[in-house]
Amino acid sequence: MTELLKNIYHRDFLTVFAAKVQQVLPTFNAVDFVETTLARPWDELALKQRTRKIATILGHYLPQSYQAAIKVLMTIAPECYGFPYLFFSDFVVVYGDVQDDWDLSMQALEWFTQQSSAEFAIRPFILADPTRAMAQLNRWAQSDNQHVRRLATEGCRPRLPWGQSLPIFKADPTPVLALLEQLKNDPALYVRKSVANNLNDIAKDHPDLVIATAKRWQGQSAETDWIIRHGCRTLLRKSFETVKELFGYAIDQPIDHWCSLLD
C-alpha cells in the first residue's frame, strides 16, 4: 500500500505545486526545485522518505528566514488540499526550532491541518515539551474547526500508525484521557473516530483504565456509546469478559459474531 501511495509524488504534481509557490514568490526557481527533488535516489524512496525530501529541498529554495518561508506556505495552503501536502507540516518539523519557533510552528500546524494533516508533525513537539504541547492540544480541542479538533486527539495517540511513538503516554495516558473527555460528544464523526482510535491505542497498554473510562462514559449520549464500542474493539477481540458484559454480549457468544458488529 505504501509503495503505491508514494507515487502520488511525481513530476507533474511537483511542477503544479512549484507553480503555486512561484505565484506568490516570483524568485522561486521552480525548475531547479523539481529537478533537485526528483534526483537520485528518488525512485528508491518510500512514501515518508519522499515527503521528507520534498520538505527538505523546499527549504533550500524558499526564503532562508523560517518566518518568511512559513508565510509563503501558509499563503498557498488553501490551494494545496489533501494527503499529498503532508510535506507542509513536515517542513515545520525540518526547519522549525522546537523552542525558538514554537508559537509560529503551532500557528502553521493549525492552519496546515485544515487543508491536509499535521498529526505526524506535532509529535516531535510533544516529545520535546509534553506539558507545553498538551496545553496547545487542549486549546485545539476547543476549536470550532473539526480538523483542528481532530488534530488534538490524533496528534497525541500513543501508537499512531506511521507516527513517532509517544512512550510518555504509553506509560501514563492520563493527560490524553483528560483531553479526550472534551471530545467524547463531538458532533463530527471525523473527530469521534479519532477519539475511539486513541482509546484503542491506550487499551493496548492500560486495558483496565479504558474499561473504567468506558463505564463512566456509557449511556451519556449516542456519540459516547459509539466511541467506547469502537475504542474497546481490541479488548473485545481479546475476549475480555468485563467488556463483553459492558456491551451486553452474551459470555458464551462466539468472538466472530460480536467482533463483526464493530465493522
Q: How confident is the model at residue 250 (pLDDT cuts 50, 70, 90)?
A: very low
Q: For residues 178 and 113, what is the distance between their CA atoms, to the nearest angstrom?
A: 22
| Cis upstream peptide for 84 (omega within 30°) | no
Do the beta carbons of residue 179 and residue 138 sit within 8 Å? yes
- pLDDT band for 97, please (50, 70, 90 cuts): very high
For the cut 90, the answer to whether the pLDDT of residue 1 exceeds it is no
Phi–psi pair at 95, nearest 5 degrees: -110, -15
pLDDT value of position 237: 84
Choose among 127, 201, 109: nearest CA to 164: 127
pLDDT at 256: 52
Domains of the chain and any CATH numbers: 1-121 (no CATH), 124-263 (1.25.40.290)
Tens digits of per-residue pLDDT, 182-222?
999 999 999 999 999 999 999 999 999 999 999 999 999 99
pLDDT for 24-72, tens place per residue?
999 999 999 999 999 999 999 999 999 999 999 999 999 999 999 999 9
Instruction: Note the pTM of the prediction, 2 decimals.
Output: 0.92
Q: Does the structure show a pLDDT above 50 at 177? A: yes
Burial of 188 (C-beta count, 10 Å sphere; 0-12/13-18/19+):
middle
